[in-house]
């Protein structure tokens, strides 16, 4: 028994020694696909007992806002008659969102175009920044996407009450239904309305998190299988990266167009 215990202790010692030689970054980057979503404090800030530390998530949000603002301002600064590449991209983005607002909200929604445009560009910039190696995907965190969805939800609700007053509550009463079914359908409509920020935020968060996790997992397969067997997962990563870029644009579009649909409900109370 004593010999067995000694052998077990030696095996554990060798295992611990082998593990100590594995680089920490390799262990996180290859075998822990969730490590890329970890929020780290860059600057500790505590005000009145509240943790307001500047994190990597906040840093990449600042970077996204800076890129969008700088690109938009400087690309149209000259207002050339024959636009260059940067100005053409900005004008196409502007017209794309403007058409989205016109088609889904109508002429009344043009006053809200700056908000929808800013929301679309911010989500798109955060999504694309997350595709850069060793960066951080802001929209892969439910706290961020839910905060954006809550702003949309509260703003649309306030607009609805400002526009229609107490009559906005008629939105929860479908027209042309028997009186006996009104209480049941009102409860269903209210629950459906209150779940809007949840569905809006989870859709963006889940797509971004799932895609980046899959990329990380297959990257681990490339390293684990080596130069001989790693070509297949590497090819999958290349193809899936292109798909992830498309999803980054698609999710920004879905977030913006659902915002327009909710604005249309608040302004026109279409059911």
Residue 34 lies in a domain: no
Residue 249 lies in a domain: yes
> pLDDT digits over 36-89, tens only?
778 888 888 888 888 888 898 999 999 999 999 998 888 776 666 666 777 888
Please determine, for residue 19, whether its predicted confidence score (pLDDT) is greater than 90: no
| Residues contacting 186, CB < 8 A, separation 6+ | 172, 173
Please determine, for residue 227, whether its predicted confidence score (pLDDT) is greater than 50: yes
Residue 162 lies in a domain: yes
Residue 212 lies in a domain: yes
Residue 10 lies in a domain: no
> pLDDT digits over 119-149, tens only?
999 999 999 998 888 889 999 999 999 999 9
Domain total in the chain? 1
Instruction: Please state, in angstroms and as integers, the Cα–Cα distance from residue 151 to each residue in 27, 79, 120, following that order.
Output: 38, 33, 14
Question: Are 160 and 265 in contact, with CB atoms under 8 Å apart?
Answer: yes
Query: Please, what is the Cα angle at 210 between 64 and 227, to 5 degrees?
Result: 100
Range of the domain at 182: 43-268
Residue 1 lies in a domain: no
Instruction: Please state, in angstroms and as integers, the Cα–Cα distance from residue 38 to each residue in 3, 13, 19, following that order.
Output: 44, 30, 22
255 class by beta-carbon count within 10 Å (0-12 exposed, 13-18 middle, 19+ buried): buried
Please determine, for residue 23, whether its predicted confidence score (pLDDT) is greater than 60: no
Residue 21 lies in a domain: no
- 63: tokens are 């970077």
Residue 100 lies in a domain: yes
For 214, the enclosing helix (H) or strand (E) is: helix 196-229
Please determine, for residue 20, whether its predicted confidence score (pLDDT) is greater than 90: no
Number of H helices, E strands in the chain: 9, 4
């Amino acid at each position: 028994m004593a010999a067995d215990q000694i052998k077990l202790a030696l095996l554990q010692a060798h295992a611990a020694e082998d593990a100590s030689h594995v680089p920490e970054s390799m262990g996180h980057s290859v075998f822990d696909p969730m490590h890329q979503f970890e929020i780290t404090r860059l600057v500790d800030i505590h005000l009145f007992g509240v943790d307001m530390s500047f994190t990597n998530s906040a840093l990449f949000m600042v970077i996204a806002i800076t890129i969008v603002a700088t690109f938009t301002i400087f690309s149209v600064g000259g207002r050339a008659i024959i636009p260059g590449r940067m100005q053409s991209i900005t004008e196409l983005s502007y017209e794309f969102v403007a058409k989205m607002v016109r088609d889904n909200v109508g002429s009344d929604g043009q006053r809200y175009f700056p908000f929808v445009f800013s929301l679309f560009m911010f989500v798109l910039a955060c999504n694309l920044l997350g595709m850069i190696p060793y960066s951080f995907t802001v929209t892969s965190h439910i706290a961020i996407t839910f905060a954006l969805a809550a702003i949309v939800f509260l703003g649309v609700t306030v607009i609805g009450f400002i526009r229609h007053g107490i009559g906005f509550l008629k939105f929860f009463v479908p027209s042309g239904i028997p009186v006996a079914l009104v209480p049941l359908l009102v409860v269903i409509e209210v629950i459906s309305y209150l779940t809007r920020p949840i569905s809006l935020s989870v859709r963006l968060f889940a797509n971004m998190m799932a895609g980046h996790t899959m990329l990380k997992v297959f990257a681990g397969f490339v390293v684990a299988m080596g130069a001989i067997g790693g070509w297949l997962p590497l090819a999958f990563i290349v193809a899936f990266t292109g798909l992830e870029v498309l999803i980054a644009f698609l999710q920004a579009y879905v977030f913006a167009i659902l915002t327009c649909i909710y604005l249309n409900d608040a302004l026109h109370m279409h059911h």
